[in-house]
Amino acid sequence: MQSSPSIMTIDAIDEKLIAALRENGRASTAELARRVGRSRTTVQSRIERLERSGVIAGYTARLAPDHAHGAVRVHVMIKIGPKEARAVEAALRAIPQVRLLHSVSGDYDMIAIAATATVAQMDEVLDRIGHVAGVERTTSSIILSTKFDR
């Protein structure tokens, strides 16, 4: 399990650097230096500091939505029973089509993002989520398109 980042001060240059890395994690140090208005050495030092402190936890390839998430993606709002959060989280973690799980405030306790290749498969996943012990109610919304993803 990954440890949480240590508390460190992030300034405007760090923010610009992080934003540039989010847009293109494969950008060269020279390109990043141009984007943030600092030298390559300074940018490399800042990246290393952000990695050491855990602010930057890693790098990954971002795929096109149809390849990364499946053809059908859904937000599932989940209402759970009292003191059931850990058990529900563990059960949802065991469902490979559940790609992301958030704990939230409001009428629902969690929001899951699920992805499958077909609507029929999604129907099965939604039934499976609804039958998890501790889940009281779900409401789902199919994601039609993603306007941007940072």
| pTM for the whole structure | 0.65
pLDDT in the model for residue 91: 97
Tokens (6 digits) for 91:
């059960």
Mean pLDDT, the chain, integer: 89
**The pLDDT value given to residue 38:** 94
DSSP, residue by residue, 87-115: HHHHHHHT-TTEEEEEE--SS-SEEEEEE
Q: Torsion angle, CA of 92/96/99/103, rounded to 10 degrees?
A: 10
